[in-house]
Chains A and B, each alone.
Chain A
Amino acid sequence: MASASAKKIRPKYLSLPALLFEIRLPVPGWVSILHRISGALLFFPFVAWLLYLLDSSLSSESAFEHMKGYLALPLVKLGALVFIWAYCHHFCAGIRYLLLDLDLGVDLQTARLTSWIVIVAGLALTAIFGARLW
């Protein structure tokens, strides 16, 4: 098997404090890394959790009522809130990438503006659906 990693050693400046405090991501960079993080979270554990919820809620009337009680638990609601944010952000950022692929909104100013729109829309949708959940 050939090696996948580049063997050439390059200088790197990626200490944790540097990542946290010195390297500043531009807004489109934040949309990008949040798209990746939300996607990873949706892949695991949220799809598994959702399938568990769907499975239980469809299995019997008593299990359905049990699920309603389960979803009312504060910690479960918090998990649901994280899921809602991950889904909404991934959805909005994904639409932005589809438009970028079509060469729409590629210039810097527009790209920054749409990045802010995606971040705010993700949080706003989370607030709206979260409010319904509570």
Chain B
Amino acid sequence: MRRIVVGAHYGLRDWLAQRITAVIMALYTLLVGAMLLKNAPFTYPAWKELFAQGWMRVATLLFAASLAWHAWVGVRDILMDYIKPDGLRLTLQVMTVLLLAAYVGWTIQILWR
């Protein structure tokens, strides 16, 4: 197979990772969504208390990490479909990685302030 720098990893890994991270995010969505609907912690003390709990911080970080990996595979697929010039595609891929890394860093900063 002819492999190209701005292509994908030519294996099962990305495909599988995208699905596993999707399941992790779906579970987080159902759990946290149900909790928000049930307890409605929409006052400042309750909101602060929710994100002060260890499990919530770790679960949210897991969500953010899953999102970064999931979105990397997805956005790269989009770029490979529509952006044909190699240089431009590589630039956009690098920007995607940087933005996703920034999202994770920002999440950590918010959770462990």
Residues of A with Cβ closer than 8 Å to B?
1-5, 36, 39-40, 42-44, 47-48, 51, 54-55, 57-59, 61, 64-65, 91, 94-95, 98, 101
Shortest distance in angstroms between A86's beta carbon and chain B's nearest beta carbon? 13
B67 touches A61 (CB 8 A): no
Chain B residues, CB < 8 A from A61? 44
Interface residue tally for chain B (C-beta within 8 Å): 32
B86 touches A4 (CB 8 A): yes
Shortest distance in angstroms between A133's beta carbon and chain B's nearest beta carbon? 12
B29: nearest residue on chain A (CB-CB)?
A91
Chain B residues, CB < 8 A from A3? 4, 86
- A-side binding surface: helix, strand, loop or mixed? helix
B71 touches A43 (CB 8 A): yes
B6 touches A4 (CB 8 A): yes
Shortest distance in angstroms between A12's beta carbon and chain B's nearest beta carbon? 13
* Assembled-state Cα–Cα distance A51/B109 (Å): 10
Residues of B with Cβ closer than 8 Å to A?
2, 4-7, 19, 22-23, 26, 29, 44, 47-48, 51, 67, 71, 74-75, 78, 80, 84-86, 89, 96, 99, 103, 106-107, 109-110, 113
B99 touches A55 (CB 8 A): no
Chain A residues, CB < 8 A from B103? 47-48, 51
Shortest distance in angstroms between A97's beta carbon and chain B's nearest beta carbon? 8
Partner of A94, one of B4, B26, B84, B109: B26
B44 touches A65 (CB 8 A): yes
Chain B residues, CB < 8 A from A95? 26
B75: nearest residue on chain A (CB-CB)?
A43
A101 touches B19 (CB 8 A): yes
A98 touches B89 (CB 8 A): no
Closest 3 CB pairs of A and B: A5-B84, A64-B44, A61-B44
Chain A residues, CB < 8 A from B51? 58
B44 touches A1 (CB 8 A): no
20 pairs, CB–CB < 8 Å, chain A vs chain B: A1-B5, A1-B6, A2-B2, A3-B4, A3-B86, A4-B6, A4-B7, A4-B84, A39-B78, A43-B74, A43-B75, A47-B67, A47-B71, A51-B103, A54-B110, A55-B110, A59-B113, A65-B44, A94-B22, A98-B22
B44 touches A4 (CB 8 A): no
* Assembled-state Cα–Cα distance A53/B15 (Å): 31
